[in-house]
């Protein structure tokens, strides 16, 4: 076990006070103090000085000046206006300015102890925009030279962030610990090159990058983001301090900074869409500051805001600040981590984020290994090291993935059947599917949530094919891009990671393989409601189906690779296996219905009479089959136009109904199996062979199904020393399995036309400034940039950390149906009523004479003939009524027609007589 880190519940050494500070109007005020100044931070703690050497000194509480009489110590404290004057707040509520400045622009969104609910109506995004505008009004104006027309500048980090770096690392001659670097990239990712004037610190420092870790995000909250980022930083620490690998141990023994071989790239897919509270987490570790991003540079829109900083701070999911400790006896301090934050101006999908990773950052740093992680996924202990080790030990390995399992929060989430069922799916995939494919050498999909690739292996055709699904390349690629694709091909790129895996294995002239690394573990959140699960699986099912067809159709490309004959033989076996699985996936809807109807129809024939009357059990089974078909038909009505989030109740009821039907199917299966096993001695006594007895129906098929669903699952789980899910998740999976076929598959195929990921542009960056360069006397073009003073930076940082370390309650409120959802709901109910009422009438007439029990003791040929005649008579009665009704309606129409014609003729004759007269 790795030594645990030491969390701190509040910011320590956050602000080093200074004898000078900015007044906001260009003047410099002098604080009347001399000598070393104490350090204050939000929790009220105080240290004698701000040096790292004092971190193990005695701590005591001393409230900062102006807060010693604060009546509510548990509430966030504002900046003392006497130390840090703040200009009048532009708050729309005109709240009075108290001595504690609760209406400070840095305090928006904080609990100021007031019960005034008006503060809560201001969203996080609105408060973030206000901070950007406020930051533009304060600070020092400086001139920055453009680099080949690109704005690249460095900004000092808060004193506390700089002081958090241990002395053994802080002695660097670079500015990576003292300044944050910002680049306003106004180009496409493919054009982010040194030739165009762009650069990254790691490249400027001539450092070799062994591992590039990418964390992609969209709108995850700060808790999910902190969980992932902190897990990554713990993994980097474990890699740099490991004793298992000679590669890393050699550098550590020689005192070389092996942390310089690892870079973390955080790619955010859309500034407008992201959760702005994540920026507070990033600002706390030093990789972001408010008021720095630029909207335009010389009329060119900023495509991506790139921040760079090397930090030794982290925030975990609790959230707590994790600081390095002086004289750390357990050697558990985090090592410095080189972070590149890329905030894309617009939401352009995850595939575009990967283009920034591979074609921009990757091309400049040329890493050996690229690790892909989704925000919200927490890498386990040394999980990234195990992925790297797999590449290090196998030069032909092109990609690998770890073991992903559902986040259960100590088992609490298992109370939700949906979570338990998904947990079982993840577990069995890691026990059966991934090891099988890894044995062949081709894992069909390396999950984007946690996987790794050898960078040079994916260069060329694999990445070219992978990026064909990027909407931002549509104009450049023309017909080969997303605009020239059929709807089937577009669905294929919903699972573009499968395309990348196939192209990597089939790469011409190479012999790259893919594998599964069991020791590498990561946990991720799974959908907890039916609506979210259906939306997620739509992309997965449609994308995987199309990508599976693609890999089979293009299997011939394997012959262009340099895999040996043995590997090629197993690739053919795997292709055949995948083709058979695809066949049964296509017919899964019919196969499940036939299994249900055949099994329950076997009950009377095997002498199983639950109520003591064979007629009653017949009608029970018949009713259950009608219910099954009714709810199956309802899925098509719901799927063709309705959003799952607008039909939560309907889908929840459907899942429960299919779960009850699944339970009935399980009971019938076990009952029939028990009777068949009981009859084995009698069958053997009739001199039937043992094999014949076990293979003959119904015992043979039932035993095969039970072995496949129970025996293999249980044995394989025990073999991998992980059988717990068989006891706490298997039953939920069995009950929800019919819904996975009847609900998820139907919805996915009915929405095959929907290939969207919610991609939207954004024009709401009005809070960001634009830069216009000026040329003076033949010098390079320069722009005027506003940079905050150190005092302002420290003051803003104090409030940022308060926001970052404030634990947010999970938003459990559900999205309310829109007007369009309500209209579609009415349409769905109307169509369902029409369809079900017609179906009920048809079923009633078909069964108007009841059921002919041919197993009755009194059954004779005459009885059957009489029963058929009576049934025909009753059906004919309905048919007769139907025909006479049709005749009557037609006669009414004819009478009306005849009356109209007669009236018309009489009127015409009368008019003619009057004209003659």
Cβ(599)–Cβ(664) below 8 Å: no
Nearest 5°: the CA angle 37, 43, 45 is 40
Cα-to-chain-centroid distance, residue 102: 37
- The answer to whether residue 731 sits within a structural domain is yes
Provide the pLDDT for residue 715: 86
Bridge-based pairing of strands 397-406 and 770-771 is unpaired
| Within a domain: 74 | no
Angle at 435 between CA 432 and CA 440, to 5 degrees: 120
Residue 509 phi/psi, 5° resolution?
75, 5
Residue 734 forms part of a structural domain:
yes
How would you list the strands of the sheet with 314-315, edge to edge? Answer: 7-8, 321-322, 314-315
Cα diameter, the chain? 129
Long-range CB contacts (within 8 A, 24+) of 767-771: 767/128, 767/129, 767/130, 767/132, 767/133, 768/132, 768/293, 768/294, 768/295, 768/302, 769/136, 769/294, 769/295, 770/294, 770/295, 770/296, 770/297, 771/151, 771/184, 771/294, 771/296, 771/297, 771/298
Closest among 264, 292, 445 to 357, alpha carbons compared: 264
Q: What is the mean pLDDT of residues 710-727?
A: 86
At residue 43 the predicted structure's pLDDT band, cuts being 50, 70 and 90, is very low
Give yes or no for a contact between 222 and 342, defined as CB atoms under 8 angstroms apart: no
Between 30 and 871, whose confidence is greater?
871
pTM: 0.78
For CA atoms 702, 705, 710, 715, the dihedral sign is positive
CB atoms within 10 A of CB 179: 17
- Residues 592 and 736 both lie in one domain: yes
Identify the weakest region by mean pLDDT among 96-105, 188-197, 477-486, 896-905: 96-105
Q: What is the dihedral of CA 576, 577, 578, 583, to 10 degrees?
A: 90
371 neighbors 211 (Cβ within 8 angstroms): yes
Across 333-354, b (16+ Cβ under 10 Å) vs e yields bbbbbbbbbbbbbbbbbbbbbb
Mean pLDDT of the 416-437 span: 90
What would the mean pLDDT of 893-910 be, rounded to a whole number? Answer: 83
Q: What is the average per-residue pLDDT within 875-884? A: 65
pLDDT-based confidence at residue 481 (cuts at 50, 70, 90): confident
Higher pLDDT, 912 or 214: 214
Residue 759 DSSP label = -
pLDDT at residue 369, rounded to an integer: 95
Altogether, the residues listed in the chain come to a count of 917
Count Cα neighbours of 79 within 13 Å in the Cβ-side half-sphere: 27
pLDDT at 832: 65
Identify whether residues 747 and 615 lie together within a single domain. Answer: yes
CA distances to 55, 103, 159, 394 from 36, rounded to whole Å, are 16, 31, 15, 56
pLDDT of residue 588: 83
Q: Per residue in 404-422, pLDDT tens?
A: 989 888 888 899 999 999 9
Least confident of 76-80, 266-270, 833-837: 76-80
Collect all residues with Cβ–Cβ distance below 8 Å to 275 and sequence separation of at least 6: 124, 219, 220, 221, 222, 225
- Contact between 618 and 851 under an 8 Å Cβ cutoff? The reply is yes
**What number is the average pLDDT over the span 364-369?**
94
Q: How would residue 25 be classed by pLDDT, with cut points 50, 70 and 90?
A: very low
What domain range includes position 877? 857-917
Per the prediction, the chain carries an average pLDDT of 77
The label of the residue with tokens 């959140």 reads 525
Contact 146, 186 (CB under 8 A): no
Residue 8 within any structural domain of the chain: no
Q: What is the pLDDT of residues 272-297, one digit of tens each?
A: 888 888 999 999 999 999 888 998 88
- The tokens describing 241, both together, are 């301090």
pLDDT reading at 644 higher than 80:
yes
Per-residue pLDDT at 160 exceeds 80: yes
Give the model confidence (pLDDT) of 383-397 as tens digits. Answer: 999 999 999 999 999
Give 107's pLDDT tier (boundaries 50, 70, 90).
Answer: very low
Of residues 701 and 446, more confidence is placed in: 446
Of 243 and 679, more confident: 243
Would you state the pLDDT for residue 616? 77
**Average pLDDT of 224-246?**
92
513: helix, coil or strand?
Answer: strand
Q: How far apart are CA 189 and CA 352, in angstroms?
A: 9
Tell me, what's the pLDDT at 765? 52
- Predicted confidence (pLDDT) at residue 804 exceeds the cutoff of 90: no
State whether residue 1 is helix, strand or coil: coil
Examine the domain organization and report whether 744 and 628 are in the same domain: yes
Report, as an integer, the average pLDDT of 141-145. 87
Q: Are residues 729 and 873 both part of a single domain?
A: no
**678 in any annotated domain:** yes
The token pair at 910 is 């009368």
Q: Is the pLDDT of residue 227 over 90?
A: yes
Q: Could you tell me what percent of the chain has a pLDDT over 90?
A: 29
Binned at pLDDT 50, 70 and 90, residue 259 comes out as very high
Mean pLDDT of 247-253: 83
Determine the Cα–Cα distance for residues 327 and 321; give it in Å rounded to an integer: 19
Q: Is the pLDDT of residue 354 over 90?
A: yes
533-581 pLDDT, tens digit each: 888 888 888 888 888 888 999 999 999 999 999 999 999 999 998 898 8
Q: Residue 402: inside a domain, yes or no?
A: no
The reported pLDDT for the residue numbered 493 is 79
Question: 885 and 745 in one domain?
Answer: no
In a domain, 133, yes or no: no
Q: Tell whether the model's pLDDT for residue 657 goes beyond 50.
A: yes
Among 697, 728, 752, which residue terminates a domain? 752
Q: Write the DSSP assignment of 535-550 as a string of letters.
A: HHHHHHHHHHHHHHHH
Q: Which single residue is written with the structure tokens 């260069």? A: 459
The pLDDT-based confidence of 621 (bands split at 50, 70, 90) is: confident
Residue 101 has pLDDT above 60, yes or no: no
Residue that terminates a domain, selected from 719, 752, 785: 752
Q: Which residue has the higher pLDDT, 740 or 841?
A: 740
Count the domains in the chain.
Answer: 2
User: Where does residue 94 rank: exposed (0-12), middle (13-18), buried (19+ CB within 10 A)?
Assistant: exposed
Phi, psi of 187 (to 5 degrees): -130, 170
How many Cα atoms are found within 13 Å in the side-chain-facing hemisphere of 875?
Answer: 14
Separation of alpha carbons 771 and 146, rounded Å = 11
Of the candidates 752, 773, 794, which is a domain's last residue? 752
Provide the CA 623 distance to its chain's centre, in angstroms. Answer: 40
Q: How many other CB atoms are there within 10 angstroms of residue 658's CB atom?
A: 26
- Decide: helix, strand or coil at residue 287: coil
Higher pLDDT, 789 or 376: 376
What are the residues facing 300 on neighbouring strands? Answer: 297
536 domain-assigned: no
Residue 763 pLDDT > 70, yes or no?
no
> Tokens representing 224?
């999910």
Residue 1 is predicted with a pLDDT of 44
């Amino acid at each position: 076990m790795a030594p645990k880190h030491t969390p701190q519940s509040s910011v320590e050494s956050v602000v080093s006070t200074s004898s000078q500070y900015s007044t906001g109007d260009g003047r410099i005020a002098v604080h009347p103090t001399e000598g070393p100044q104490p350090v204050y931070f939000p929790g009220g703690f105080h240290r004698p000085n701000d040096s790292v050497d004092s971190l193990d000194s005695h701590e005591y509480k001393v409230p900062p000046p102006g807060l010693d009489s604060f009546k509510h110590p548990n509430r966030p404290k504002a900046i003392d206006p006497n130390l840090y004057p703040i200009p009048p707040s532009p708050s729309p509520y005109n709240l009075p300015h108290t001595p504690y400045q609760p209406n400070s622009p840095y305090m928006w969104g904080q609990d100021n102890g007031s019960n005034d609910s008006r503060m809560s109506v201001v969203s996080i995004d609105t408060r973030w925009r206000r901070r950007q505008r406020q930051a533009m009004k304060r600070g020092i104006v400086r001139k920055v030279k453009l680099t080949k027309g690109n704005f690249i500048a460095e900004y000092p980090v808060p004193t506390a962030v700089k002081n958090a770096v241990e002395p053994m690392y802080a002695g660097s001659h670079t500015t990576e610990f003292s300044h944050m670097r910002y680049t306003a990239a106004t180009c496409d990712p493919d054009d982010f090159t040194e030739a165009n004037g762009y650069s990254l610190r790691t490249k400027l420092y001539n450092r070799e990058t062994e591992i590039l870790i990418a964390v992609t995000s969209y709108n995850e909250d700060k808790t999910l983001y902190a969980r992932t980022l902190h897990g990554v930083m713990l993994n980097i620490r474990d890699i740099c301090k490991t004793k298992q690998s000679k590669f890393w141990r050699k550098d550590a023994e020689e005192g070389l900074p092996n942390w310089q071989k690892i870079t973390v790239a955080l790619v955010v897919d859309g500034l407008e869409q992201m959760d702005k509270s994540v920026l507070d987490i990033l600002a706390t570790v030093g990789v972001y500051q408010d008021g720095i991003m630029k909207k335009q540079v010389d009329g060119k829109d900023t495509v991506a805001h790139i921040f760079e900083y090397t930090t030794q701070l982290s925030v975990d999911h609790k959230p707590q600040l994790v600081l390095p400790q002086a004289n750390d006896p357990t050697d558990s301090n985090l090592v410095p981590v080189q972070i590149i934050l890329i905030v894309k101006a617009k939401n352009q999908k995850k595939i575009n984020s990967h283009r920034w990773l591979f074609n921009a950052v990757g091309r400049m740093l040329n890493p050996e290994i690229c690790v892909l992680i989704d925000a919200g996924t927490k890498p386990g202990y040394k999980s990234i090291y195990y992925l790297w080790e797999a590449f290090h030990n196998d030069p032909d390995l092109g990609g690998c993935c770890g073991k992903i399992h559902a986040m259960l929060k100590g088992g609490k989430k298992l109370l939700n059947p949906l979570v338990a069922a998904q947990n079982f799916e993840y577990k069995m995939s890691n026990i059966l599917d991934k090891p099988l494919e890894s044995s062949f050498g081709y894992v069909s999909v390396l999950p984007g949530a946690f996987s790794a690739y050898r960078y040079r292996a994916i260069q060329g055709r694999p990445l070219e094919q992978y990026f064909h699904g990027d909407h931002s390349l549509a104009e450049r690629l023309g017909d080969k891009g997303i605009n020239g694709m059929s709807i089937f091909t577009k669905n294929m790129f919903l699972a573009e990671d499968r395309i990348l895996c196939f192209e990597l294995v089939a790469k011409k002239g190479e012999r790259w393989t893919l594998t599964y690394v069991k020791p590498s573990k990561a946990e991720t959140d799974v959908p907890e409601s039916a609506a979210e699960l259906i939306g997620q699986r739509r992309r997965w099912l449609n994308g995987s189906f199309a990508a599976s067809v693609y890999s089979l159709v293009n299997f011939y490309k394997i012959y262009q690779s340099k895999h040996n004959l043995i590997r090629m033989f197993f690739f053919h076996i795997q292709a055949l296996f995948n083709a058979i699985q695809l066949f049964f996936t296509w017919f899964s809807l019919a196969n499940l219905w036939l299994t249900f109807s055949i099994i329950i129809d076997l009950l009377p024939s095997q002498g199983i009479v639950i109520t003591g009357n064979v007629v009653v059990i017949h009608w029970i089974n018949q009713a259950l089959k009608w219910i099954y078909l009714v709810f199956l038909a309802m899925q098509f009505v719901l799927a063709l136009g309705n959003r799952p989030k607008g039909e939560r109740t309907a889908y929840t009821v459907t899942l429960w109904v299919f779960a009850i039907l699944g339970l009935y199917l399980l009971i019938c299966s076990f009952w029939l199996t028990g009777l068949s096993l009981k009859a084995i001695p009698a069958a053997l006594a009739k001199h039937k062979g043992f094999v014949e007895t076990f293979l003959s129906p119904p015992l043979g098929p039932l035993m095969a199904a039970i072995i496949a669903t129970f025996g293999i699952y249980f044995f394989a789980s025990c073999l991998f020393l992980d059988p717990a899910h068989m006891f706490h998740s298997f039953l939920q999976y069995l009950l929800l399995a019919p819904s996975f076929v009847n609900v998820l598959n139907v919805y996915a195929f009915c929405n095959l036309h929907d290939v969207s990921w919610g991609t939207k542009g954004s024009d709401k960056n009005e809070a960001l400034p634009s830069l216009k360069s000026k040329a003076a006397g033949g010098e390079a073009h320069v722009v005027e940039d506003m940079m905050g003073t150190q005092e302002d930076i420290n003051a803003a940082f104090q409030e940022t950390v308060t926001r970052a370390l404030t634990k947010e309650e999970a938003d459990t409120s559900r999205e309310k149906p829109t007007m369009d959802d309500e209209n579609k709901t009415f349409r769905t109910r109307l169509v369902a009523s029409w369809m079900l009422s017609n179906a009920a009438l048809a079923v009633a007439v078909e069964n108007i004479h009841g059921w002919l029990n041919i197993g009755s003791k009194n059954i004779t040929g005459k009885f059957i003939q009489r029963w058929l005649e009576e049934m025909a008579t009753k059906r004919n009665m309905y048919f007769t009524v139907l025909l006479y009704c049709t005749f009557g309606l037609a006669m009414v129409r004819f009478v009306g027609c005849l009356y109209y014609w007669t009236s018309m003729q009489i009127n015409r004759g009368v008019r003619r007589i009057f004209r003659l007269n």
